Structure 1
């Protein structure tokens, strides 16, 4: 009996865990919404620290620039992606079966920036001004903010005499600000620091943070296609697409948790991975300085809402509902998205929470 017990114990020790049993990691392509930078620090940290590998995944982090991650995921060029809630919901409205699986940033980082010397002190002062906006759906937070204060813009072709003249520009504020526009779109973690680098210190700027005015359209979520979630044998791995998704989310959250607690280390992990997009502008053109700013700011967007309740990656249903209502009010969404737009079961599998 003792020999049988010993043999049983040895066999138990020899049995591999699920991750160990899979000798070859499953290749997963995660499409980032922009070029490599600290905006995506948690994913790069998860890769560098082996968190993806621990889940049996070989994750390829794909940069995209100013294209749409929705298209690369919808066409199968990528398996998963990061994007903004508006991108995802408008894609669903168009019949593209993409699905929200985790919410990384719990607060919007979108702002409009003016010089204090312009006399623009409140949204009502936007009237008659020129506003620099990003195209391709990135203008929606600004449009929502203006509509809330009864302002119209030249983006709406049905309006004869718009309150605000919109000037689209390609993500570099130096192209338009402050000579060609009175206000300019800027993310807290990127373009604001670039504007500082142009010689306009923070004490010279009036910054309108969209969430402060009730416009908290969520950004930087993780999504995939319904096809991936329905796959019973993802890339021949023996695991379902949903299980792969849960493993990816679990490792990503672990990476983000580490990154926001070890910001300097996270910046050092990001720096070798990005080129010119790592730099700021003018006097703030040092890559490490700009990425340190960025890491500090994205940490604030991550450490908000459910994250502070121990539920990182969770999409707050109430906030989601308010986002939908806002987009419907703008006419961007014609109806409520179907229930399939969000799959909470992936987050539940990843975290073991409900």
Structure 2
């Protein structure tokens, strides 16, 4: 026979067990979703929005436990994402196109850079002021930059046979080994010899010469896009908040970036960030109308068509490299 005292004891025990179970469920539901974000390059001002979003708790506010993985010259973010090392990654347009051409299940769903900054530089005394002037010249770039060179030549009615391609960097330009060399206007430290050249210099950006890449695309597997769209939308909204904070508080943003990555010079990163923000790389007329991380479908298609024309890929459509569903479900800052 169960006594009243025993009944009360059992009831109390059951209540405690129920409360504990509910507490466990609530804790599990409240736990932040783990997300590993892979950078294409080493942490610097180009990833200021993501780094600030992490340090300011913007990811956490969206229910995400984000870890930022540093990249570098040997990092292949497409492979890292396909292998499950990264949930989301930064990637460049050629990487995404080549992956799609191979039928790999990965797509872009946003882009932090509205304009890819890659630019070719020539010294003033060479007289090279446009891609049309490249004929008969020595053009320097990395081996991975050769397709971009071919694309720019095609846009100007030239071909690779009209130039001498050399794997080279800025020192080769300054030493007269090449007539033109590829670099990035956001890397002011590297560009210093060109900027200080007494004879001046000229620029030919890929954007102004028919190759309108965006850059720092956000990529994920097609499975993640289809099955975890809410997480990807939350990620973009947190990064949006991060970049807005960077734009409003650039000095503090540089302090945060340089504190989280060794070897960065604050003055150089501050100068680079100013170029990114003032030069229309992060915010421009497109983001003012459509919002942060906007991706232009027509530009993607033109880029795909150009790369197919020069024989780098087969025929692809925008839908093969970009999924608009994540941007469609987010409300991102228009500025």
- Asked whether the two chains share a fold, i.e. TM above 0.5, the reply is yes
SS at match of 1:100: strand
Which residue does the alignment assign to 2:273?
A: 295
**Alignment of 1:62 onto 2:97:** no
Q: Is the 1:174–1:198 contact (alpha carbons within 8 Å) kept by the matching residues of 2? A: no
Rg comparison, structure with higher value: 2
- Which of 70, 74, 77 is the matching residue for 2:82? 74
SS at match of 1:28: strand
State the shift of 1:72 in Å: 0.4
Encode CA deviations 1:307-344: one digit per residue, 9 max, x unaligned.
12142112122222222222222222211237253221
Structure 1 residues 200 and 76: alpha-carbon distance in aligned structure 2, compared to 1, 3 A threshold: same
Encode CA deviations 1:3-53: one digit per residue, 9 max, x unaligned.
xxxxxxxxxxxxxxxx99843212111111100110111101111111101
SS at match of 2:202: strand
Alpha-carbon distance in structure 2 between the residues aligned to 1:58 and 1:201:
47
Structure 1 residues 196 and 314: alpha-carbon distance in aligned structure 2, compared to 1, 3 A threshold: same
- TM-score, length basis structure 2: 0.83
Q: Is the 1:193–1:293 contact (alpha carbons within 8 Å) kept by the matching residues of 2? A: no
Q: Is the 1:104–1:302 contact (alpha carbons within 8 Å) kept by the matching residues of 2? A: yes
Structure 1 residues 58 and 319: alpha-carbon distance in aligned structure 2, compared to 1, 3 A threshold: same
SS at match of 2:143: coil
**Alignment of 1:250 onto 2:202:** no
Q: Show the 5 A alignment for 1:1-354.
A: 22-66=29-73, 67-136=75-144, 138-153=145-160, 162-169=161-168, 173-174=170-171, 177-190=174-187, 192-197=188-193, 200-201=196-197, 204-231=200-227, 241-276=228-263, 278=264, 287-299=265-277, 300-337=280-317, 339-351=319-331
Which residue does the alignment assign to 1:282?
A: none
Alpha-carbon distance in structure 1 between the residues aligned to 2:274 and 2:318:
36
Q: Is the 2:101–2:316 contact (alpha carbons within 8 Å) kept by the matching residues of 1? A: no
State the shift of 1:135 in Å: 2.6
RMSD of aligned Cα (Å): 2.5
Structure 1 residues 203 and 350: alpha-carbon distance in aligned structure 2, compared to 1, 3 A threshold: farther
Alpha-carbon distance in structure 2 between the residues aligned to 1:352 and 1:268:
25
SS at match of 2:122: strand
Structure 1 residues 319 and 53: alpha-carbon distance in aligned structure 2, compared to 1, 3 A threshold: same
SS at match of 1:303: coil
Alpha-carbon distance in structure 2 between the residues aligned to 1:144 and 1:352:
33
- TM-score, length basis structure 1: 0.79
State the shift of 1:215 in Å: 2.1
Encode CA deviations 1:80-117: one digit per residue, 9 max, x unaligned.
11111221121111121111111211112110001112
Alpha-carbon distance in structure 1 between the residues aligned to 2:266 and 2:57:
23
State the shift of 1:352 in Å: 7.7
Encode CA deviations 1:160-201: one digit per residue, 9 max, x unaligned.
xx22122224xx6336644322211111201x5412157735
SS at match of 1:321: helix
Encode CA deviations 1:46-81: one digit per residue, 9 max, x unaligned.
111111010111111111212221110011111111
State the shift of 1:298 in Å: 2.0
Structure 1 residues 336 and 56: alpha-carbon distance in aligned structure 2, compared to 1, 3 A threshold: same
Structure 1 residues 330 and 203: alpha-carbon distance in aligned structure 2, compared to 1, 3 A threshold: same
State the shift of 1:203 in Å: 7.0
Which residue does the alignment assign to 1:158?
A: none
- Structure 1 segments, 4+ long, off by >6 Å, are none
Aligned residue pairs: how many? 306
Alpha-carbon distance in structure 1 between the residues aligned to 2:332 and 2:141:
41
